[in-house]
Structure 1
């Protein structure tokens, strides 16, 4: 199911008004987010299901010097929310002017008048408005005064505590994409446009597709068994390296280099979605290209073993 994206709260079509909406950043759209959305739908099955979220993530505006941290960018987030049965995604542009809006105005002007919501739900930590002045009790009080339904949904937790984007980021940074998958409810993927590399992979006999990580979180640097979804919807197995390629150059841009097994064709300019299944080894420097070439062949074999063992089952 596809969710419809609305990128301005000022011009909402009539058929998108009157929804029940879950509020939050929804980075990753993990099992905790799914719990929030499902709880809202169970509470108000009579209303179309929606999400109110923001882009960029507020942290990207307030702390631009931080390294990129996003689990999902807008396209991936929209697809994941659609898979949960969400019909409308109200993605509010989070710029400096919007960040100055008082909490009171957010509830009245945006949620009530702008989006015409009939019911809203959020998790226990949701805060909003200028300097995060709006709390869950404040939201409960103001929605009641406006005649809008409200549900506060307790966080979904396991033995280690509440599911959270922060926890999943840590798993990826520690090199455990298979554990991140368990908390996301689906494999973690990086979607991006293939750019021209330095063609060195081709000389080594292993042509690679280069994808800059951009605003995505950088997971543990090293080599991964991956599957790649091509623009036509087909999926190919492969092996990928994440890092700054220490053997070949000292460039500062982190990127994903993917070698698709048994694939011929130019992927430059195409948008690929690369699913990380298992980390095979950490990044390391090799003494010359022959040693690197031998290691790449070993990595490819290791990736094929992981992928054929069923570890890549979505």
Structure 2
């Protein structure tokens, strides 16, 4: 089932089931617990499991200066949710009209009338409606009056920390993509367009695809092991995020070296999955020192990507 952008497009088969509302940024273990309960309720009702999310995040419109970079783009989020078993994803275009709806209006127009939900599943920190006036306590009362069931799913705790999108964002921003992956349902991924770079990598035996127009959170400056989904395969990759101080360049760039694979990718979109940080970025005393380190980086990245995750 494709992503639904407008409620007028909602097929009859997406009505009358169980519904969860939220941003689901990153699709982490806490989201998976919500989806698991959502699927159980949908099976009991013999109806669909529907996730209603927002595109963009409401904070982008309400407080753009406070809006953090997202962990997932909409299509990626939908793919991850569908992999968990969700039947229908509504990515509602966030606009001022939606944000002006009171909690009761949102519940009546979207949950009851448009989706026809018979059950809801939410986390304990769920808010909805204008100025976040719709609390969990209000939702309990609304669903009771509507004859619907409501499940409040407890958060997931991992190593003494509550799994959340904000925590995962901090980990990725610090370069700890491996720990972030333990909290996500799939390793962290970015996307961008491949553009022409200086071409220096090819002259020393390590050609790279240079990524621009990245619309999600960029991991910290460093060298990473990862994978690239390409032509139906998962290709091992070594990724450099940062400047090239050895050659006197200080602009931050994203350069992806495909391991044991040669492809012409200029002008194409490319997704890159991060598995582990290998090292920091530093200046080398000579080209030979740089090449020796790159060989080591590629060997480690090949090993890590080959082990899977």
TM-score of the two chains, using structure 2 as the length reference: 0.90
When residues 107 and 37 of structure 1 are mapped into structure 2, their CA distance, relative to the original with a 3 A threshold, is same
Say if 2:82 is the partner of 1:110. no
When residues 95 and 246 of structure 1 are mapped into structure 2, their CA distance, relative to the original with a 3 A threshold, is farther
When residues 213 and 170 of structure 1 are mapped into structure 2, their CA distance, relative to the original with a 3 A threshold, is farther
Aligned to 1:201: 201
Shift of the alpha carbon at 1:4? 3.0
Identify the structure with the greater helix proportion: 2
SS of the residue aligned with 1:5? coil
When residues 101 and 208 of structure 1 are mapped into structure 2, their CA distance, relative to the original with a 3 A threshold, is same
Q: Does the 8 Å contact 1:68/1:215 carry over to 2?
A: no
Aligned to 2:211: 211
SS of the residue aligned with 1:250? strand
Say if 2:83 is the partner of 1:93. no
Aligned to 1:149: 149
Aligned to 1:264: 262
Kindly report which structure 2 residues correspond to 1:5-154, keeping only aligned pairs within 5 A, or say none: 5-45=3-43, 46-66=46-66, 69-154=69-154
TM-score of the two chains, using structure 1 as the length reference: 0.88
Aligned to 1:239: 238
Q: What RMSD, in angstroms, separates the aligned Cα atoms of the two structures? A: 2.2
Q: Does the 8 Å contact 1:50/1:86 carry over to 2?
A: yes
C-alpha distance in structure 1 between counterparts of 2:304 and 2:158, whole Å: 28
Q: Does the 8 Å contact 1:175/1:279 carry over to 2?
A: yes
Aligned to 2:164: 164
Q: Does the 8 Å contact 1:68/1:218 carry over to 2?
A: no
Q: Does the 8 Å contact 1:68/1:214 carry over to 2?
A: no
Unaligned runs of 5+ in 2: none
Shift of the alpha carbon at 1:40? 2.1
C-alpha distance in structure 1 between counterparts of 2:38 and 2:258, whole Å: 41
SS of the residue aligned with 1:6? coil
